[in-house]
Structure 1
Amino acid sequence: MSLNSPLIIEETKQNNKEEERRKLVEEVKKQLWLSGPLISVTLLNFGINLISVMFVGHLGELPLSGASIATSFASVTGFNLLGGMASALDTLCGQSYGAKQYRMLGIHMQRAMFILMIVAIPLAIIWANTRSILIFLGQDPEISTEAGNYATLMVPSLFAYGLLQCLNRFLQTQNIVFPMMFSSAVTTLLHLPLCWIMVYKSGLESRGAAIANSISYWVNVTILSLYVMFSPSCKKTWNGFSDEALALNNIPIFLKLAIPSAVMVCLEMWSFELMVLLSGLLPNPKLETSVLSICLTTAGTVWMIPFGLSGAISIRVSNELGAGHPRAARLAVYVVVVIALIESILVGAAMILLRNICGYAYSNEEEVVKYVATMLPILAASNLLDGMQCVLSGTARGVGWQKIGAYINLGSYYIVGIPSGVVLAFVLHIGGKGLWLGIICALVVQVFCLTIVTIRTDWEKEAKKATDRVYNSITTESLVS
């Protein structure tokens, strides 16, 4: 029978379709297997600060205000920056693992830890001066003093957080996610009784909650460190401490990705915090700030789902590019976009359907509940866009486009989003809705730009870049040793 016969051609087409379907199903399974635990880890880690603030809330209005402001200040000036810098490991460790250069994962992680600990020192000085900074910014002296005491006692958690971010990315780029979920679950469960003892039984009150935070973060770091050192799963990637990690001529390789990574994350996170601050300048600032804070908390909670998907796509893209599989990396991006779209539509629909009762979870005041109900459809729209930008940003980290992402975020939020929000809120007098609509404008621009960059990607070229990045690191390490 001729190879060009219709029967052979049809059979070949059928086999190709079956193979494509198999790869698609396999990719969906991989991403769901990764994203599920990553979502859990994010929620559990988020729960530590939330639990502490909840315990402090029962002490009175002043301790609650101080702890809330201190937690927000800590996120803006420390946690976001360190988390952003650590995300450079999504590229470096992920591509090294895909290229089967396992020893380099341990080197990259140690180098990241060293640099983040140095960066944490000036951040710790800022935290220690929280009271003076807040008073300088015009905050109430009494609340500033309370926040300053809380932030100062949280300084040890800053160093633990930096190490934790490095350990998490070291493990997740190897597709080792369940130990991270176990460690976070144990830490959060232990944090509940620890917080109760430190706040109510030790006599430390709100200061006890800050100390409990630091203890819990270090517990998490200890559990994961022991796992990395003694687990057979990390035998190939962890060969003990190495002088190569501190080689000065290789530090720029990390910083080249870490600095734009931090800028990319911070520019986005800071814009949301700025929106809440701007709401305090609106007429009826108490209502506007309360509702915007509720919306921000709600958006931050549901955002954990696409953030888990974002981590999963970073792993998949970096692994496949490092392994020299550009078509598999491209398929992974298509799959995660569809998953994020479905998830965002379902969550958005739930927000709209439950809009009249969601406000009661935060307040019993009818004015607040009604305002939240009018905001939730807008929040649902932003959630859809935020889910898309989240997974596309994860793709950017996996490929190594942190610098491009930083420029896009700068333009989206600070050239388009915030100015639009100010005009809508203060010039057109739309109020808090206007501020959030400004964020939606930023998200539209961000998603559009990231989509264009992703569509125009030459995946073959990116796979070659990943290979060059991995082997350039190895060559430099060899020269040093």
Structure 2
Amino acid sequence: MEKEDENNVSVEPHAIQISGSNDEQVKADDHDNDNDTTAVQVPQTKTSLVVKEVKKQVWLAGPLILVSLLNFAIQLISIMFVGHLGELALSGVSMATSFSSVTGIALMMGMASALDTFCGQSYGAGQHRMLGVHAQRAMIVLMIVCVPVSIIWANTKSILILFGQDHEISAEAGRFAQLIIPCLFAFGLLQCQTRFLQTQNIVIPMMFSSGATTVLHVALCWVLVFKSGLGSRGAAISNCVAYWVNVLILAVYIKFSPSCSQTWTGFSMEAFHGIPSFLRLAIPSAVMVCLELWSFELMVLLSGRLPNPKLQTSVLSICLNTESTLWMVPFGLSGAISTRVSNELGAGNPWAARLAVRVVLVMAIIEGTLVATVMIVIRNLWGYVYSNDVQVVRHVALMLPILAASIFLDGLQCVLSGIVRGCGWQKIGAFINLGSYYLVGVPSAVVLAFVLHTGAKGLWLGIIIALILQALGLMIITARTDWEREAEEATKRVNDSITPDVS
């Protein structure tokens, strides 16, 4: 009978911890039996658990959303300032920004996200010292990866010309890409610091450091671009300064804050051990992120081959920029759920991990529905935010219902990807993304746009098909998860990663 109760009520162990001492729980049970009110008490306990979980995730996601928006603003501010220098400067910097995102930034984000699994589960298991070791190991690997990427960035001009891009624009993009090479190293370190703090539920300091560096970037970029005569080179220098200042602020916080005293115990030679284990998660993590990002960039490139390419590219770029901005909200939820799941699995609390997953999926569906509805309502006005061209505005209005559907699906897959990172399923996620985008989504987009002549709509519908398959695949895996087994796997992963202290 006891075994049956344990199986039927998965959240009860957690409920007992919250409700008070064991004696108080026994008294409550006796009182329930006398008055036959058990049916009322249990739902209230479950409701309180859900409310508590919602608060935890909102507390994590809110600052993470702001951090993402502020970091995104650094690139946006640079492009806005450079845009006042002329069409050539704007085109070159925009191309360099896209090129750097595809070849380096996505790679850094993806590889660093392996720390969601390693640091999150170690923190949940109480192996606090290992968080610093994992973070240092990731920093070493990412700094090594930055070297070949830097060589690629140094040859941006030649690569773009090789792919048939305009020589003048390629030259401008090449100069900008060379100057932002220091940004790459700073961004890699920043990603490791962010995951290190996030998995400990420390998010407020990141929000303040990102805010401070963004304000600094606005002032410095204005001075360097317009007052010093450096032009677009000034924007590149300001980018580098902003990222490195952010890294230094967080480094000082990690070093001296009491919150990190147990997780950061100084540099250790342990970081050089276990690199193959880190790569086994980091590589598929990078593949997951890169495959998705590359597919969206590919749509913009393909739009240049459509009839009236100037209009089609403008419309698709507006849609992509809109989705990228609105994506920050589910991205924050994704970071929150990866932390919650990894912490609870590491702590051996499968019921709490399952509850966290259910809560975030409901939140993502509600958020996606609200945003999609607003997009549809304002579809005839949204184009004016980007352009006064009536034709562009009209085409954006026609695209927005399709964009609304993709925003909903992208938000859903984003939080599901967070669950993947929290559990350590990156290899499965990489295969799902490969199949969804490149075996089905991109070919469908090409057929719809160029064979059936649906233009930019067809390209975006191809993305929607990919998002549906991606979300469906991740949802099936999540629904079929044995959370007790995942908790055991997390414990095994944490134990396998522990190395003797050789600092």
Is the TM value for this pair above 0.5?
Answer: yes
Superposed displacement of residue 479, structure 1: 8.7
In structure 2, the residue matched to 1:65 is 91
In structure 2, the residue matched to 1:118 is 144
In structure 2, the residue matched to 1:367 is 391
Aligned residue type for 1:154: I
In structure 2, the residue matched to 1:89 is 115
In structure 2, the residue matched to 1:468 is 492
Superposed displacement of residue 478, structure 1: 2.0
Superposed displacement of residue 7, structure 1: 4.5
Which residue of 406, 421, 440 corresponds with 1:382? 406
In structure 2, the residue matched to 1:288 is 312
Structure 2 residue 158 is matched with structure 1 residue 132: yes
Superposed displacement of residue 11, structure 1: 2.9
Q: Do the aligned residues in 1 keep the contact of 2:32 with 2:38 (CA within 8 Å)?
A: no
Per-residue CA deviations over 1:223-251 (Å, capped at 9, x if unaligned) read: 0000000001101101011111112xx11
Superposed displacement of residue 9, structure 1: 8.5
Which residue of 420, 424, 436 corresponds with 2:460? 436
- Paired with 1:440 and 1:473, the residues of 2 have a C-alpha distance of 39
- Paired with 1:376 and 1:236, the residues of 2 have a C-alpha distance of 49
- Paired with 1:479 and 1:472, the residues of 2 have a C-alpha distance of 14
Aligned residue type for 1:348: A
In structure 2, the residue matched to 1:75 is 101
Superposed displacement of residue 24, structure 1: 0.5
Aligned residue type for 1:217: Y
In structure 1, the residue matched to 2:71 is 45
TM-score by length of 1: 0.97
Per-residue CA deviations over 1:63-120 (Å, capped at 9, x if unaligned) read: 0000000000000000000110000000000000000100000000000000000000
Q: Do the aligned residues in 1 keep the contact of 2:71 with 2:214 (CA within 8 Å)?
A: yes
In structure 1, the residue matched to 2:3 is none
Which residue of 220, 223, 247 corresponds with 1:194? 220
In structure 2, the residue matched to 1:19 is 45
In structure 1, the residue matched to 2:231 is 205
Structure 2 residue 356 is matched with structure 1 residue 332: yes
Aligned residue type for 2:209: S
- Paired with 2:246 and 2:55, the residues of 1 have a C-alpha distance of 28
Superposed displacement of residue 311, structure 1: 0.3
- Paired with 2:106 and 2:30, the residues of 1 have a C-alpha distance of 60
Aligned residue type for 1:57: G
- Paired with 1:425 and 1:466, the residues of 2 have a C-alpha distance of 45
Aligned residue type for 2:427: K
Structure 2 residue 69 is matched with structure 1 residue 34: no
SS in 2 for 1:478: coil
Which residue of 479, 487, 493 corresponds with 1:455? 479
Aligned residue type for 2:453: H
- Paired with 1:4 and 1:317, the residues of 2 have a C-alpha distance of 34
- Paired with 2:42 and 2:118, the residues of 1 have a C-alpha distance of 33
* Percent identity between the two aligned chains: 68
**Does the C-alpha gap of structure 1 residues 199 and 4 become closer, same or farther in structure 2, counting only changes over 3 Å?**
closer
Superposed displacement of residue 13, structure 1: 3.3
- Paired with 1:393 and 1:8, the residues of 2 have a C-alpha distance of 47
In structure 1, the residue matched to 2:8 is none
**Does the C-alpha gap of structure 1 residues 479 and 207 become closer, same or farther in structure 2, counting only changes over 3 Å?**
closer
Which residue of 308, 326, 344 corresponds with 1:302? 326
Superposed displacement of residue 424, structure 1: 0.5
**Does the C-alpha gap of structure 1 residues 6 and 175 become closer, same or farther in structure 2, counting only changes over 3 Å?**
closer
Contiguous gaps of at least 5 residues in structure 1: none
Spell out the pairing of 1:120-269 with structure 2 (5 A cutoff).
Answer: 120-247=146-273, 250-269=274-293
Structure 2 residue 341 is matched with structure 1 residue 322: no
Aligned residue type for 1:42: S
SS in 1 for 2:266: coil
Superposed displacement of residue 21, structure 1: 1.0
Per-residue CA deviations over 1:275-327 (Å, capped at 9, x if unaligned) read: 00000011000100010000000000000000000000000000000000001
Superposed displacement of residue 480, structure 1: 6.8
Structure 2 residue 341 is matched with structure 1 residue 341: no
- Paired with 1:215 and 1:8, the residues of 2 have a C-alpha distance of 69
- Paired with 1:54 and 1:466, the residues of 2 have a C-alpha distance of 45
Superposed displacement of residue 5, structure 1: 11
- Paired with 2:161 and 2:34, the residues of 1 have a C-alpha distance of 79
- Paired with 1:7 and 1:468, the residues of 2 have a C-alpha distance of 41
Per-residue CA deviations over 1:4-53 (Å, capped at 9, x if unaligned) read: 99945843333322221111100000000100000000000000011001
SS in 2 for 1:174: coil
Structure 2 residue 77 is matched with structure 1 residue 55: no
Aligned residues: 475
In structure 1, the residue matched to 2:500 is 478
Contiguous gaps of at least 5 residues in structure 2: 1-28
Aligned residue type for 1:372: V
- Paired with 2:410 and 2:255, the residues of 1 have a C-alpha distance of 37
SS in 1 for 2:85: coil
**Does the C-alpha gap of structure 1 residues 461 and 367 become closer, same or farther in structure 2, counting only changes over 3 Å?**
same
In structure 1, the residue matched to 2:435 is 411
Which stretch of structure 1 is more off in the superposition, 57-66 or 344-353?
344-353
Q: Do the aligned residues in 1 keep the contact of 2:270 with 2:501 (CA within 8 Å)?
A: no
Superposed displacement of residue 203, structure 1: 1.2
Aligned residue type for 1:366: V
CA RMSD of aligned residues (A): 1.3
Aligned residue type for 1:158: L
TM-score by length of 2: 0.93
